[in-house]
Amino acid sequence: MNATIIEAINDSLTTEMERDDRVMVFGEDVAENGGVFRATEGLKERFGADRVVDTPLSEIAIVGGAVGLALYGLRPVAEIQFSGFLPPAFDQLVTHASRIRWRTRGEWSAPLVVRTPYGAGVRALEHHSESLEGAYGHVPGLKVVVPSTPHDTKGLLNAAMHDPDPVVFLEPKHIYRSVREEIPDDDYEVPIGEAAVRRVGEDVTVISWGAMMEPTLEAVAELGVDADVIDLRTISPLDRTSIVDSVKKTGRAVVVHEAARSGGWGGEIIATINDEALMYLEAPIERITGFDVPVPLLSMEDYYLPHPPRIAAGIERVLEY
Amino acid sequence: MTVVTANTGTTRAESFTVRASAETNRAALCLYARRLVSWYEIAMSNNLSRQALDLDAPWISQDTLSVEPHQIVAPDGSYDPDDVPDLTEEAFLDLYRWMLFEKRYAERMVKLQRRGELGTFGSSRGHEASIVGSGYPLQDSDWLLGMGRETMAMLQQGVSLRDMILFWRGVDDAQQFLAQENCMIGISVGGYLPLVTGIGWGMKRMDADAVVTAHFGDGATSTGASHEAINFAGVLDIPAIFYCQNNQWAISTPFEKQTNANSIAQRAIGYGVDGVRVDGNDVLAVHAAMTEARELASQGNPVIVEGLTYRRGGHSTNDDPSRYRDDEERETWIDRDPIERYERFLQSEGLWDRVDRETLLEGIDEEFDAAHEAADAYGPRDVEEIFVHLYDEMPPALEAQMASFGEFLETYPEMDEHVDRRPKG
């Protein structure tokens, strides 16, 4: 079918619920209302109220409940309405979901998916624009996925639902409906932990993910530079090989992310290059990121976001070094 | 574990009637069913001020509900024979042995810790009735997630004593063996209650003949996770029992500083579930309440059971209670000792002649000695253990860390020597 990202999510959930009776979808406003972004539209009608469940407004119990369901053999897919509301449940991810397999030496495991729309640019209120992938990526035991295309969205969400370990699935809500492409009908997988090369070039490696892929590709096109553009797709486990191979080829690198700069995932990427490709570098690595502030409210958020002019300026600095 | 048939069939039926119809004759209810704090009580209880129900003055206050804990055997050993659960003689004696076991276990474990054989240990002294009475009515298919101060309840589920020693030695494998018996110890206070709700949700979805029980302390009830977990369980009709061992101290924080509410059980009303407060030093009252709670939970009615007890020792072996509470309070609770009270009950029932306390203790000590030896013999272990089991399939970067650390250890044997010299407890 020809689908947007939000339609790809719905199609993935439908495909998987059809295939596996253990899959349950739940969260706030997901059943009767089909989700505030309509990601779960029609699922309750199709699969029933036992499998598609409206919950109380309780992020801790939604995520902790998902862990418990997984322990009992179900395949929970929890929706957190906005990633800005996930921090209360961070404890459940850190304290239980990520380590219950480790705690019980493999006796128990928590194969669950927490889906949540992340990122700025949709003109929403406070706490509706966060990008905390770096914080989740820092937690050993969690897998963290951020798709940027409809095809990857369905393939990665399918893979997340098949995965034996907990996956935080961050959805770029800014581009939920802005891109459309053909996606297969079946339960194909895009492997978790593998980056995609969106554009092949020789002069510079530009690395980004999620909603930042669009402005990054735009900046590269506007500059007309010969760039390798890597879409990380998975934050953790990080595809270090793709990054290092590309940097060894180009000798220059730029990382673009929407999250705050300090302690952001860009730091981990740069450290990886430092570990494995330092002697190939011809210029210091640039980070084009959000600032070390909360995401500003809608009237100023465009100054916070790495838009193409700021990304292009960074790429130029690296090329001209 | 031993399955007990308590004389609660009629009681259960009646208490369900209560929920179904406000016309039910309250006098027909047995004592502990009456103590259940249900919506029926809001409407019917004599303890509820009539004013509180008056629409012109729609206030409820702490005085609205009685929070006197339900008791079967009084501290002096007296009781009304009509209230005694209909257990077999063997079950009555079994409860005694389990309580003696919990007490002896705690004493032996404190000694091991003092000898440097355990990291730390949280003694259960004083909680014996609460632990044994709450664990005994559970079935093999049930799950139990606790806080580490409910050992005999876990042993009743099949956990071995060796593995409890390993747990307190910080041997990672212990929780694997607990998990094999559907048990877990949650160290982060209150944080595992949402898991309990989720497990119960799974039982409901799978239509399993099972309930899940959370054991936690009074401190846990102040966490947001506990509120969300219980409220959520109520909304989704989840077969869960939330058993609060209210031992009145969370390290140095007394119950009255934990909450301004008179009881934990009364919160049941706010969550829209059923609740009961029992004397946690009265093993028969706890047993009866948990038997009823299990029945309710298995029908999709989550329950809060609050066992009012007292932590006689420190929070753990690292804690010195003399810094924050006086001996007088402790003495009061020593007078309410759960084991001595139950001994008086057994005497009154003519069962004490069948108890040979010394022989029982010898048997318990032998069991403990065997577990201790097995714990000492556990191993050998490999440092690779810290890397495995995090993921089903180890990511390449973690594999590289493991390999690199392995090479380091081979190159620098002084690292192993250094670790060997470090304290183990």
Range with top average pLDDT, A223-237, B28-42, B322-336: A223-237
Nearest to B198 among A67, A141, A238 (CB): A67
Res. B424 pLDDT band, cuts 50 70 90: confident
CATH number at residue A212: 3.40.50.920
A29/A166 same-domain check: yes
A204/A178 same-domain check: no
Average confidence (pLDDT) over A8-17: 98
B204 φ/ψ angles, rounded to the nearest 5 degrees: -65, -45
pLDDT at B117 over 80: yes
CA pair distance A46, A17, nearest whole angstrom:
10
Residue A266 lies in a domain: yes
pLDDT at B26 over 50: no
Mutate to test the interface with B, among A53, A69, A145 (most CBs of B within 10 A): A69
pLDDT in tens, A46-91: 999 999 999 999 999 999 999 999 999 999 999 999 999 999 999 9
Average confidence (pLDDT) over A93-98: 98
pLDDT at A310 over 80: yes
Last residue of a domain, one of A182, A216, A247: A182
Residue A187 lies in a domain: no
Residue A239 lies in a domain: yes
Residue A33 lies in a domain: yes
What pLDDT score does B318 carry? 93
A159/A19 same-domain check: yes
pLDDT in tens, A123-142: 999 999 999 999 999 999 99
Indicate yes or no: CB of A67 within 8 angstroms of CB of B206: no
Res. A303 pLDDT band, cuts 50 70 90: very high
Interface predicted TM-score of the whole assembly (ipTM), two decimals: 0.96
A82/A105 same-domain check: yes
For B384, other C-beta atoms within 10 Å of its C-beta total 11
Res. B36 pLDDT band, cuts 50 70 90: low
pLDDT in tens, B247-274: 999 999 999 999 999 999 999 999 999 9
A260 - beta bridge partners? A290
User: Are the C-beta atoms of B214 and B196 separated by less than 8 Å?
Assistant: yes
Does the CB of A191 have a partner CB in chain B at under 8 Å? no
Average confidence (pLDDT) over B167-186: 97
What pLDDT score does B5 carry? 29
A153/A238 same-domain check: no
Q: Where would I find the H helices in A104-250? A: 133-137, 150-162, 213-223, 240-250
Q: Which residues of A, range 145-174, sit inside 8 Å of B by Cβ? A: 164-165
Residue A191 lies in a domain: no
pLDDT at B43 over 60: no
A200/A117 same-domain check: no
Res. B7 pLDDT band, cuts 50 70 90: very low
Average confidence (pLDDT) over A174-193: 97
Res. A166 pLDDT band, cuts 50 70 90: very high
User: Are the C-beta atoms of A206 and A315 separated by less than 8 Å?
Assistant: yes
Closest residue, chain B, to A275 (C-alpha): B397
- The three-state DSSP-derived secondary structure of A170-206 is EEEHHHCCCCCEECCCCCCCCCCCCCEEEECCCCEEE
Res. A14 pLDDT band, cuts 50 70 90: very high
Three-state DSSP at B243 gives: strand
What pLDDT score does A72 carry? 98
A52/A139 same-domain check: yes
A217/A251 same-domain check: yes
CATH number at residue A100: 3.40.50.970
Chain B nearest-CA distance from A69, in A, is 5
A176/A205 same-domain check: no
pLDDT at B381 over 90: no
pLDDT at B210 over 80: yes
Outline where DSSP puts E strands in B36-185: 143-146, 183-185
Q: Which residue has the tokens 């100054």?
A: A303
Mutate to test the interface with A, among B391, B398, B399, B404 (most CBs of A within 10 A): B391
Q: Which positions ≥6 away from B283 have C-beta within 8 Å?
A: B95, B99, B128, B129, B132, B133, B338, B342
A134/A88 same-domain check: yes
A21/A166 same-domain check: yes
Does the CB of B178 have a partner CB in chain A at under 8 Å? yes
CA pair distance A219, B59, nearest whole angstrom:
63
Residue A190 lies in a domain: no
Residue A189 lies in a domain: no
Does the CB of B158 have a partner CB in chain A at under 8 Å? no
Res. B37 pLDDT band, cuts 50 70 90: low
Question: pLDDT above 70 covers what percent of chain B?
Answer: 86
CA pair distance B7, B9, nearest whole angstrom:
6
> Which among B290, B125, B274 has a CA at the least distance from the CA of B213?
B290
Q: Where would I find the H helices in B211-254? A: 224-235
What pLDDT score does B1 carry? 29
Closest residue, chain B, to A55 (C-alpha): B232
Residue A188 lies in a domain: no
Average confidence (pLDDT) over A149-176: 98
Chain B nearest-CA distance from A119, in A, is 26
Does the CB of A73 have a partner CB in chain B at under 8 Å? yes
User: Are the C-beta atoms of B72 and B83 separated by less than 8 Å?
Assistant: yes
CA pair distance A144, B364, nearest whole angstrom:
49
Q: What angle do CA A138, A142, A146 make, to 5 degrees?
A: 85
Mutate to test the interface with A, among B176, B188, B205 (most CBs of A within 10 A): B205
Res. B13 pLDDT band, cuts 50 70 90: very low
pLDDT at B30 over 80: no
Q: Which positions ≥6 away from B208 have C-beta within 8 Å?
A: B141, B202
Structural domain count of chain A: 2
Nearest to A55 among B180, B191, B232 (CB): B232
Nearest to B224 among A55, A60, A143 (CB): A60
Contacts of B198 in chain A (CB under 8 A): 64-72, 76
Contacts of A71 in chain B (CB under 8 A): 195, 198-199, 202
Res. B18 pLDDT band, cuts 50 70 90: very low
What pLDDT score does B65 carry? 81
B26 is catalytic: no
* Percent of residues in chain B assigned helix, strand, coil, to nearest 5: 50, 10, 40
Indicate yes or no: CB of A91 within 8 angstroms of CB of B225: yes
CA pair distance A255, A265, nearest whole angstrom:
9
B215 - beta bridge partners? B243
Number of helices (H), then strands (E), in chain A: 12, 14
Last residue of a domain, one of A149, A182, A215: A182
Last residue of a domain, one of A182, A206, A224: A182
Average confidence (pLDDT) over A202-212: 98
Q: How far is CA A72 from CA A107, A110, B206, B273, in A?
A: 12, 9, 9, 23
Domain with A114, as residue range(s), is 2-182
Res. B66 pLDDT band, cuts 50 70 90: confident
Contacts of B201 in chain A (CB under 8 A): 65, 68-69, 72
What pLDDT score does B57 carry? 61
CA pair distance B40, A216, nearest whole angstrom:
63
Tokens of B159: 């956990």
> Which among B89, B12, B80, B3 has a CA at the least distance from the CA of B297?
B12
Residue A273 zone, left/alpha/beta (φ > 0; ψ -120 to 50; rest): alpha
Closest residue, chain A, to B223 (C-alpha): A60
Question: pLDDT above 90 covers what percent of chain B?
Answer: 81
B311 is catalytic: yes
CA pair distance B68, B377, nearest whole angstrom:
48
Average confidence (pLDDT) over B113-128: 95
Pick the catalytic residue from B311, B312, B336, B341: B311
B324 is catalytic: yes
What pLDDT score does B280 carry? 98
A103/A55 same-domain check: yes
Q: Which positions ≥6 away from A222 have C-beta within 8 Å?
A: A308, A312
Question: pLDDT above 70 covers what percent of chain A?
Answer: 100
Tokens of A220: 């590269």
